[in-house]
Amino acid sequence: MPAFIDEFFGKDWMDSVFSDRPGISVPAVNVRETNEDFLIDVAAPGLKKGDFNINLDNNVLSISSEKEFKDEKKEEGQFMRREFSYSSFSRSFSLPEAVDADKIKASHKDGVLTITIPKRDEIKRKPPKQIDIS
């Protein structure tokens, strides 16, 4: 049934239901796998590295942020207008047993948060080896 809904409404249908709610947005995420590690890229323009919280609990990686945006304008006389806006998100990922959780790293550059999750050495794919015939 979910596949039918995705085909009929498109994958953005559910996102649009939640994106209409103020203060709730979910950044786009890319998950890549290399021979050495897994990489999670989170597109979060306008956020700085200090705006993120990254936690690992029971092999579940959680990425979250809450930020307050202020716009304050003063006008002539006694009028003052103050507008507040909050933006927050939370994403969670179940990590496979093959990761080395103690070596997870995160970096932030040009509005993209990148989390590097190394694989355990015994899981990494070894390069092809030539076997000599005796």
Q: Phi, psi (5° rounding) for residue 110?
A: 50, 45
Q: Which range has highest mean pLDDT (1-5, 44-48, 62-66, 68-72)?
A: 62-66
State the Cα–Cα distance between residues 130 and 65, nearest whole angstrom.
Answer: 49
Domains of the chain (ranges plus CATH)?
Answer: 26-65+91-118 (2.60.40.790)
For the segment 16-43, what is each residue's pLDDT rounded down to a tens digit?
Answer: 444 444 545 688 899 999 989 999 999 9
pLDDT of residue 89: 86
For residue 29, give every residue at least 6 positions away whose Cβ sits within 8 Å of its Cβ, in sequence order, or none. Answer: 40, 41, 42, 43, 91
Whether the per-residue pLDDT at 5 is higher than 60: the answer is: no
Residue with tokens 């933006």: 87
Asked if pLDDT for residue 4 goes beyond 70, the answer is no
pLDDT of residue 75: 57
The gap from C-alpha 105 to its chain's centroid, in whole angstroms, comes to 13
For 61-120, what is each residue's pLDDT tens digit?
999 988 776 655 555 565 566 566 667 888 999 998 889 999 999 999 999 999 999 999
Of the pLDDT bands very low, low, confident and very high (cuts 50, 70, 90), residue 7 is very low
3-state secondary structure 3-63: HHHHHHHCCHHHHHHHHCCCCECCCCEEEEECCCEEEEEEECCCCCHHHEEEEEECCEEEE
Backbone angles phi, psi at 72, to 5 degrees: -120, 125
Contact 117, 40 (CB under 8 A): yes
